[in-house]
A and B are shown apart, each in its own frame.
Chain A
């Protein structure tokens, strides 16, 4: 008993009220934890201070790496920086980095959610030299196609813009690379909704799903791109092109008379001259095949796409207005192509 009286007192203490006194600070509770601390210095773990400013090349690379940044504005700003640094470089000097390095970080941005990033991207792409783009079309196209069939209408329309830039810059390789002809045309049809008979009629509920997009007249833009694409693919070969081909066949100005067909035996000037052999890729199906000549493309087009496109054009023309005018551009290209036929 004697020893436990102390314990009892301890227990009773729990039930006693704390006494508050006027003019004194309130007592700290039992479970109070002191969180204040003192420090003589603050150390930043990552800090890169240099006396010399970074070289333009280093900033270029740095900005290239910033393209995968989380914030939209950061990506846009980096793109803007890259654009200016490419466009303001001295004439005929090489790019700060080769296209094969720049392009992989640019490609995912085609599907970027922010509109400003995509417009900036298009500006950057336009500054790239067309000759360098030609070899990388096969890499670009899957992203562009993914963009063209994206759920968001804005991304769709900007992908169409990028495609028209590609056709401008490297039309021949765009239509002739692996999967470039059939798959891209399929995408066009699905963007325009021309796949089936009922969906191409004007009375059907067009673009039934998702927002129509803030940038106006996407259909008109798409029709324009389609006209360019068709022209590049199956349009009548331009006269001087044919001329140069013919002259190459007959006798090249580079090679004097006794040497004929020497050009065929020289090292090719395209980067992947044997791509059509598909030595290292997966076996391709009909859709993913390369259609290198106009004749092939025309054959595929006439069997697979011609009816659908003609039907689509017809209904677009019936709608009239701006759409009708745009459709007339396509139909003009189509007519020329059909008039030219499968080729000489």
Chain B
């Protein structure tokens, strides 16, 4: 059959994409065609709606195509299409159960498209999609809807936070969670909230409230979803933020590549995008970073929440959570208790029955217990627990790991509430520092060094250590009573005060002024202090004047200063009266740096310097040559950070039984690639050559030559006459001179 030739005009197939393209370019001229297609859509819709479940394939395809077409060009004819979005919504809402999959997806996509074209507002869209999300049995549709809802919320919040929309959506989610506490539908609320929390689109208390209600639900999946959010949601958010900031775009490189590589429109666009991204980032840098509180801090009524959770999920005999889930709930409760210093007294007696080494995942229980203790928990509530841990875990007979975990747990409890342990028990436990097991020894030493800090008088005299013993004798250290709070101060303020003093001194010296000259009226009140401060510094080593405050103060202020100065030694050797004066001066200094905060307003520059100094001090403290004590691990922990079971287990690996020889060999071999038996280098080279099919050397050939073949020559050698032998030898010598059979090149 011969193909009929087509005219140019005939070739233009009258299809919808073509029409769509033309309408986009010139909507006015094609209005009649569009109207016809709209009627066509209307009739197809009518046909379809008459019997949604028994539609034919062709009808479906044409309906789908028409919906696609109309939603793409609907913005050109708002008058004709004013009912169109509502029709789609009706179709989807009423028939989403029986709709054919592709048509259903097309409907969802078209609605989103119409939203993009502003023919539909986002609240309506979300109110359409969300009920379907939670009611449809189709997995693919749910995935699609979830994705669309998320992206819709993200775009709605992209420019500015759309508070109104967020609030309505949060209310919807809240109602979903609270309306039916036994159903698993609350999971969708959790999923959406968590995702938006992660992307920092929702950071308000209302979102946290949704999760709170989820955690109090009766469906275990929902409970765990809510609990997990509180335990990990903030970390997830931080991680995502880090990821975002990590991707660096090197504009210079992009531009350079553009000059070298082939210039295409695609590459130009990529470069433009990169530049835009960088510009955006810079603009963002200028903005003040939003203060994002963690979900645990945004909780309204944490006491009520924690109590509710405890009585509902843990204390309640009817709750059917698994151990693992219970542990997660317990973790959350204990974190709340520790963070907000709540009082839930039954919680501590609840722990009692779990504190045995045979309890599965006991370290998590121990960690939770430690988390749940804070300095406002009455010591007599914690004391029996500590006693029980000591009895059950820490003994000579128990395994090293067990004792380590017990000691670590006791330490973690005592960090938070030093009064939780009795003196005798503490002294007992400290004795384990002599244990042969390394893990136990380390754990015990940890406990010891903690008590040197917080309650040295409870230790035996020989365990107190020099520093603690001296300060005890001086009466500096007082046992902190139950409920006593430390005076609040700005961390590192003394560093700033000291730095300021030094700066002023330097300036004065530069200007040739007497060091007590003041450049500022306001600082007049500080004049005396500054004056004798400098004098002191200048002639500190001249005489053994007893007012050698500066050096002493230095020691107190920053540990990094060396203590070996003769003046300070002298000062220490001074008699009691002098010491009193010393103390007075110190007190004066303390008051002075507090004055810095109370009398002056710290400028941002000051604050920046403060952080810098703090960082410097922290860095100095960790230097290896530093004599000062390295800060204990428990002081560096942030209150928001959770305590994990891993930390309780601690160095348990050290106290593990010695590995057998085979295990050690296996361990050593672990990292190494496998290799065959030992061989000489030569042999290996030969093997390789042979494998590659390459030839051998002459020597090798001679060695491998068949014995019988060599036999004739060997025999004939024996029968040679003297003359023949001579000729052979001569030829040999000659050959040697010539350089082999072939001779040297060039001869």
Contacts and interface: CB of A to CB of B under 8 A. Distances in A.
Interface of A: 8, 11-12, 15, 68, 107-108, 111, 139, 142-143, 145-146, 148-153, 179, 183, 186-187, 190-191, 193, 195-196, 199, 205, 208-211, 282, 288
A8 B691 contact: yes
B47 to A, nearest CB: 5
A111 B63 CA distance: 12
Nearest to A15: B693
A87 to B, nearest CB: 27
B476 interface: no
Contacts of A11: 691
A152 B14 contact: yes
B273 interface: no
B62 interface: yes
Contacts of A190: 32, 35-36, 39
B40 interface: yes
Given A11-B691, A111-B58, A191-B36, A205 B29 contact: yes
Contacts of A143: 43, 47
Nearest to B39: A149
A183 B32 contact: no
Contact of B31 (A8, A12, A15, A196): A196
Given A179-B46, A190-B35, A193-B32, A149 B40 contact: yes
B59 interface: yes
Contacts of B690: 8
Interface stretch (B15-23, B556-564, B602-610): B15-23
A211 B10 contact: yes
Nearest to A200: B32
Contacts of B15: 151
Interface of B: 9-10, 12, 14-16, 19, 22, 29-33, 35-37, 39-40, 42-44, 46-47, 49-50, 56, 58-59, 62, 690-691, 693
6 contacts: A8-B691, A146-B44, A196-B31, A209-B22, A210-B19, A211-B12
Nearest to B55: A108
Contacts of B35: 190, 195
A185 to B, nearest CB: 11
Given A149-B39, A210-B19, A288-B46, 5 more contacts: A145-B39, A146-B40, A151-B37, A208-B30, A211-B9
Given A11-B691, A68-B56, A187 B31 contact: no
Nearest to A14: B693
Contact of A108 (B9, B46, B58): B58
Most buried by A among B14, B22, B691: B14
Nearest to B58: A108
B14 A151 contact: yes
Nearest to B35: A190
A248 B451 CA distance: 114
A211 B46 CA distance: 27
Nearest to B28: A198
A146 B47 contact: yes
A103 B14 CA distance: 29
Contact of A209 (B19, B39, B43): B19
A108 B63 CA distance: 13
Nearest to A148: B39
From DSSP, what is the main secondary structure of chain A's interface residues?
helix
Given A15-B693, A151-B16, A210-B14, A199 B43 contact: no
B40 A108 contact: no
7 shortest interchain CB distances as A-B pairs = A210-B14, A146-B43, A149-B40, A149-B36, A145-B43, A149-B39, A190-B36
B56 A12 contact: no
Contacts of A208: 29-30, 32-33
Contacts of A196: 31-32
A10 to B, nearest CB: 11
B407 to A, nearest CB: 58
Given A143-B47, A179-B46, A186 B39 contact: yes
Nearest to A179: B46
Most buried by B among A151, A183, A186: A151
Nearest to B45: A142
Contacts of B10: 211
A108 B693 CA distance: 73
Contacts of B32: 190, 193, 195-196, 199, 208
Contact of B33 (A107, A148, A209): A209
Contact of A151 (B19, B29, B31): B19
A209 B30 contact: yes
A196 B16 CA distance: 23
Nearest to B44: A146
A139 B44 CA distance: 12
Nearest to B10: A211
Contacts of A211: 9-10, 12, 14
A149 B14 contact: no
Contacts of B30: 208-209
Contacts of A186: 39
A284 to B, nearest CB: 11
A186 B9 CA distance: 29
B706 to A, nearest CB: 16
Contacts of A148: 39
A111 B46 contact: no
Nearest to B11: A211
A183 to B, nearest CB: 7
A215 to B, nearest CB: 15
A12 B693 contact: yes
Nearest to B683: A1
A165 B32 CA distance: 26
Contacts of B44: 142, 146
Given A190-B35, A199-B32, A210-B14, A149 B43 contact: yes
Contacts of A111: 58-59, 62
Contacts of A145: 39-40, 42-43
B49 A282 contact: yes
A139 B49 CA distance: 12
A145 B38 CA distance: 11
Contacts of A193: 32
B272 to A, nearest CB: 37
Nearest to B37: A149
A113 to B, nearest CB: 9
Contacts of A153: 14
A209 B14 contact: yes
A91 to B, nearest CB: 34
A190 B37 CA distance: 9
Nearest to A205: B29
B56 A183 contact: no
A288 B96 CA distance: 24
Contacts of B39: 145, 148-149, 183, 186-187, 190
Contacts of A15: 693
Nearest to A209: B33
B677 to A, nearest CB: 10
Nearest to B38: A149
Contact of A142 (B14, B33, B46): B46
A153 B10 CA distance: 12
Contacts of A282: 49
A169 B394 CA distance: 101
Nearest to B23: A209
Given A209-B19, A211-B10, A150 B29 contact: no
A186 B42 CA distance: 11
A1 B691 CA distance: 14
Contacts of B12: 210-211
Nearest to B33: A209
Contacts of B9: 211
B7 to A, nearest CB: 10
A211 B14 CA distance: 7
Contacts of B31: 195-196, 199
B43 A142 contact: yes
A107 B49 CA distance: 15
